[in-house]
Amino acid sequence: MATQRLIVAIGRVERALSRLEQMQHISPVDKDDNLADRHEKLKAETRAAIGEIDRILAGVA
């Protein structure tokens, strides 16, 4: 069970990193006004996934 949750959490981190990498390739013309909001949401999701991994590894979750 913990292994499956760890795999899911790692998958979330990988998807978040992939989205970050994709954002590097957007030209300034293609950027939209809510980029800062999307960036904050992505950072929060990444923090949550890393926190979940930490709890799983600590045996708390």
pLDDT at position 30: 54
pTM for this one? 0.49
- Residue 31 pLDDT more than 60? no
Q: Which residue range forms the structural domain that includes residue 14?
A: 2-58
pLDDT at 29 over 70: no
Instruction: Report whether pLDDT(61) > 70.
Output: no
Task: Please report the DSSP string for 1-59 in residue order.
Answer: -HHHHHHHHHHHHHHHHHHHHHHTT--TTT--TTHHHHHHHHHHHHHHHHHHHHHHHHT
Q: Number of structural domains, the chain?
A: 1
As a whole number of Å, the end-to-end CA separation of the chain is 10
Query: Which pLDDT band, with edges at 50, 70 and 90, does 44 fall under?
Result: very high
